[in-house]
Amino acid sequence: MSYITSDILALSFDGLTSPTIKLRLPLELQGTHPLGWGVAWYPNDNQAAVVTKDPVARGTEVMMDAMTDWNNYRSSIFFCKVKGAAKGYSHHETQPFTRSFAGQDWIFMHNGDLDKVKLGILHADKSRFLEPIGITDSELAFCYLLGKLQETAARKLSDVPNAQMLGWFEELDALGSADMCISDGITIACYYGTKSARNLYYTKLQPPNNNLVFSTDSTFLHVNDPRDYYRSSIIVTSSNFDAGVWTEMQPGQLLIIRQGAIIWDSIKDVNAKPKLKNGEGTIKKPNTSAVNIRSITKAPDGSVLSYRVYDITHSTEYTYDNPVQHSTHTFRLQPVEDPVQEVVHTTFTISAEGEETHYEDEFGNQCIHYSVHKPYNKLSITTQSRVKIFASPIDDHSLSQRQSSIPLVWMPWARQMMTPYLLPEELPESQLRALTEYAMSFVKRNGYNLIDTLRDMNLSIYRDYKYVQGITSNNTTPFEIYTSRQGVCQDFANLFICLARLLSIPARYRMGYIYTGVHYENKIQSDASHAWVEIYIPYVGWRGFDPTNGCQVAQDHVRVACGRNYRDSTPTSGTIYKGGGNERLTVEVKIQEVP
């Protein structure tokens, strides 16, 4: 077994978890220095952290020997470090470090060496509150970061702009090797220095492959508690684990991690916005406003808002072994007519003679009820439509009247009107509890922000769930999709709807079409009817989210029918009263953009 120099391990889960962590120390040490180790976590995600450590450990698998109360060993954040300590080190110098600040405990660990003299100059705050207890450069760096938080009046990591936090770590990186992790109990910031002697790696674990066993000479990690089978997590480590797919961090990279997901990556910089010169990009509001959104031709930034035109053909064919003597059908195939979508024309053709009744259903869908009394072996239905989709300005969620945080507050009559869209699917209580915890993980890692939570939920289903046809049915439940992490557009919409309703956010099922074109990155559902989710946002209205393609609904989507679920908005449905036998169904959708 090789001599351990230093290993760090940071874990972030999307809910309370009890991982098995074993720290393996060699029986015979090389040299005169002992080995120190420490583990920190937040029991039941409370503000107070627990740190257990031993600066002069002897033996193997010390973590198992140190833990006595496993009921309190449940947290969404864990820090762990094993280190070849300097002679004479005590608990004061053994990591992880913890300090109380702004109403909660903070934990910190560092791999590397910094110029302590220069660091002391950089950390100009001489307050007794920010004075290190031990003698290490690591704890002084910890105090420096807390001092920067105090200087900016931040109470948690999410209060600090990501780019500004990156600058703080870069200042420390200039003084030596600075592999660092810091947490406020909600967020983890992990920085990989440019002068590091060791590599840092990260990976994302999610069901059904989150129960891998990770092992090195110094560390053993396994999420094997039955309560945690469906947890997602981000792991950052300097250990070269023998399982999983790992990404090597780049020098100078900062990861912001929250509730089992990477919120910000300084390398990808997904949230970066171009800096504007003085006066550039200023929005000038006109004195008048357009009531009809189709009359708005420019966005606030001056960009042109134009419409797009599509020709759509939806063909459905039923064939039967025996003649059908009598049947009735409901067709929801006419696109929606509203301020942002105009139906230029729609034609409906059916191969069998019958009685045709046009009406608007309870959800505002344009429907056709068709009753057939003459025998047929084949029934063909074709709808051809030309539709205009108008662009609209981006919603302004900064207005005071618009609710931007969870939970939403409803007036009694509003809640009564939205009741059909607030009731989740009837599932066993244990399943609903698991789905509620999953939904709350999105809320927590987005700081209870409504729009950020919805966008994160939408994008996470797109990234974490696999599109696989033929493995689900109309009876597949949201919990089954949550556990299998695979399905089709209907399943992903049902899961999103269930999660939103568990958070008391009204959600409905939307059926329509999506235009993918030649160069569209994701072509899923371009040759069939498509399903997505619409969320009702107070003082905004219904807004579409497409978890199958990871995007918000705009001018690529043509809306047809909506309802509480698939049954309320299915394109074609019916009942055979006599005859038929075996049924075969073929559906073909063609959507083309008209120049």
Residue 290 placed within a domain:
no
The Cα 78–Cα 23 span in angstroms is 14
Residue 330: both structure tokens together? 């409901």
Domain end: 265, 280, 295, which one?
Answer: 265
523-546 burial: b if 16+ Cβ within 10 Å, else e: ebbbebbbbbbbbbbbebebebbb
Residue 147 placed within a domain:
yes
**Domain holding 321: CATH number?**
2.60.40.2250
Q: Are residues 353 and 426 in the same domain?
A: no
Q: Are residues 245 and 162 in the same domain?
A: yes
Q: Which of 138, 84, 86 is nearest to 112 (CA)?
A: 138
Helix (H) or strand (E) holding 502: helix 489-502
Q: Which of 158, 329, 173 is nearest to 251 (CA)?
A: 173
Residue 447: both structure tokens together? 């700081």
Residue 17 placed within a domain:
yes
Q: Are 555 and 308 in contact (CB under 8 A)?
A: yes
Residue 477 placed within a domain:
yes
Residue 279 placed within a domain:
no
Residue 522 placed within a domain:
yes
Q: Are residues 369 and 249 in the same domain?
A: no
Q: Are residues 337 and 442 in the same domain?
A: no
Give me the helix-helix angle, 429-445 and 450-464, nearest 10°: 110
Amino acid letter, residue 445: R
Residue 288 placed within a domain:
no
Domain end: 206, 232, 265, which one?
Answer: 265
The Cα 312–Cα 385 span in angstroms is 5
Residue 566 placed within a domain:
no
Q: Which of 191, 354, 378, 182 is nearest to 267 (CA)?
A: 191
Q: Are residues 104 and 142 in the same domain?
A: yes
pLDDT tens digits for the chain (595 residues)? 233 357 889 999 999 999 988 877 655 544 455 567 889 999 999 999 999 887 776 554 555 555 555 556 899 999 998 875 555 567 778 889 999 999 999 999 998 899 988 988 888 776 777 888 888 899 999 999 999 999 999 999 999 999 999 999 999 999 999 999 999 999 999 999 999 888 999 999 888 777 788 888 778 888 888 888 889 999 999 988 888 889 999 999 999 999 999 999 999 874 444 444 444 444 444 556 666 777 777 777 777 888 999 999 999 999 999 999 999 999 999 999 999 999 999 999 999 999 999 999 999 999 999 999 899 999 999 999 999 999 988 888 888 888 889 999 899 999 999 999 999 999 999 999 999 999 999 999 999 999 999 999 999 999 999 999 999 998 999 999 999 999 999 999 999 999 999 999 999 999 999 998 755 555 555 567 899 999 999 999 999 999 999 999 999 999 999 999 999 999 999 999 888 889 999 999 999 999 8
The Cα 48–Cα 589 span in angstroms is 57
Q: Are residues 546 and 578 in the same domain?
A: no
Q: Are residues 209 and 333 in the same domain?
A: no
Q: What is the pTM of this model?
A: 0.84
State how many domains the chain has.
3
**Domain holding 50: CATH number?**
3.60.20.10
Q: Are residues 549 and 584 in the same domain?
A: no
Q: Are residues 425 and 543 in the same domain?
A: yes
Q: Are residues 249 and 351 in the same domain?
A: no
Q: Are residues 352 and 461 in the same domain?
A: no
The Cα 304–Cα 309 span in angstroms is 16
Q: Are residues 318 and 419 in the same domain?
A: no
Structural domain that includes position 12? 6-265
Q: What number of residues does the chain have?
A: 595
